[in-house]
Amino acid sequence: MLSVVSSNKHSVSCPVVGNMPIMVRDHTWQQTEKEVYISVPLKGTKACESNVLCTEEYLKVNFPPFLFEMFLFAPIDVDKSSAKIGNGIILFSLYKQDPSVWDALCVANMEKAAMQTIRENALIRVQEKIKEDAQARAVRKRENEKYSLEVMMKINEEERKQIENVKEEERRKASEELERYKEQQRIEEEQRNIQREHRRREEEKRKKASTKSVFTAEAEKRGNEKTVPPTRKTGSIRIQFTPRVFPTAVRESLLAEEEEWLQKQAAARRAINSDNLELQDLKEEERNPEWLKDKGNKLFAAGDYLAAVNALNLAIRINDKIPALYLNRSACHLKLRNLHKTIEDASKALELLTPPVPDNAAARLKAFVRRGTAFCELELYVEGLQDYEAALKIDPANLNVKSDAEKIRQIIQGSCSDPE
Residue 379 backbone class (left: φ over 0; alpha: ψ -120 to 50; beta: rest): left
Asked if the model's pLDDT at residue 322 lies above 60, the reply is: yes
**402 burial level (CB within 10 Å; 0-12, 13-18, 19+):** middle
Asked if the model's pLDDT at residue 289 lies above 90, the reply is: no
Share of the chain above pLDDT 90, in %: 29
Nearest to 385 by CA among 402, 370, 372, 400: 372
Nearest to 84 by CA among 61, 101, 107, 56: 61
**Stretch 145-159: mean pLDDT:** 89
Equal fold, 3-110 vs 286-413: no
Q: Which residues pair with 375 in a beta bridge?
A: none
The lowest-confidence range among 96-105, 152-161, 211-220 is: 211-220
pLDDT, tens digit (0-9, with 9 covering 90-100), for 177-186: 888 888 999 9
Asked if the model's pLDDT at residue 415 lies above 60, the reply is: no
Asked if the model's pLDDT at residue 327 lies above 90, the reply is: yes
Give the pLDDT confidence score for residue 345 in this predicted structure. 95
More confident residue, 33 or 239: 33
Q: Which amino acid is at 406?
A: E
CATH class of domain segment(s) 3-110: mainly beta
The lowest-confidence range among 46-55, 101-110, 376-385 is: 46-55
More confident residue, 141 or 109: 141
**Stretch 401-405: mean pLDDT:** 94
Asked if the model's pLDDT at residue 351 lies above 90, the reply is: yes
Residue 129 — pLDDT band, cuts 50, 70, 90? confident
Residue 302 — pLDDT band, cuts 50, 70, 90? very high
**391 burial level (CB within 10 Å; 0-12, 13-18, 19+):** buried
Q: What is the CA radius of gyration of the chain?
A: 48
Nearest to 67 by CA among 87, 50, 47: 50
Chain mean pLDDT for the chain: 79
State how far the Cα of 241 lies from the Cα of 393, in Å rounded to an integer.
68
**H or E stretch covering 265:** helix 255-280
Tell me the three state secondary structure of residue 18: coil
Q: Which amino acid is at 359?
A: D
Which of the 8 DSSP states describes residue 302?
Answer: T
Asked if the model's pLDDT at residue 192 lies above 70, the reply is: yes
State how far the Cα of 154 lies from the Cα of 61, in Å rounded to an integer.
51
Asked if the model's pLDDT at residue 224 lies above 60, the reply is: no
**Stretch 71-82: mean pLDDT:** 81
Asked if the model's pLDDT at residue 111 lies above 80, the reply is: no
**Stretch 280-301: mean pLDDT:** 82
Asked if the model's pLDDT at residue 258 lies above 70, the reply is: no
List the domain boundaries for the chain.
3-110, 286-413
**Stretch 124-128: mean pLDDT:** 82
Give the pLDDT confidence score for residue 14 in this predicted structure. 38
Most confident of 151-160, 197-206, 322-331: 322-331
Architecture of domain 286-413: Alpha Horseshoe (1.25)
For 210, residues 6+ apart whose C-beta sits below 8 A from its C-beta are none
Strand 76-86 and strand 28-31: the pairing is unpaired
Sign of CA pseudo-dihedral 316, 319, 320, 326: negative
Which of the 8 DSSP states describes residue 30?
Answer: E
Tell me the three state secondary structure of residue 84: strand
Question: Whole-prediction pTM value?
Answer: 0.37
The lowest-confidence range among 38-47, 76-85, 138-147, 167-176 is: 38-47
Share of the chain above pLDDT 70, in %: 75
State how far the Cα of 420 lies from the Cα of 411, in Å rounded to an integer.
15
Residue 298 — pLDDT band, cuts 50, 70, 90? very high
Which of the 8 DSSP states describes residue 59?
Answer: E
Tell me the three state secondary structure of residue 332: helix
Give the pLDDT confidence score for residue 274 in this predicted structure. 53
Q: Which residues pair with 27 in a beta bridge?
A: none
More confident residue, 214 or 268: 268
Sign of CA pseudo-dihedral 361, 363, 366, 368: negative
pLDDT, tens digit (0-9, with 9 covering 90-100), for 2-49: 654 444 333 333 334 446 677 777 788 888 888 888 888 766 555 454
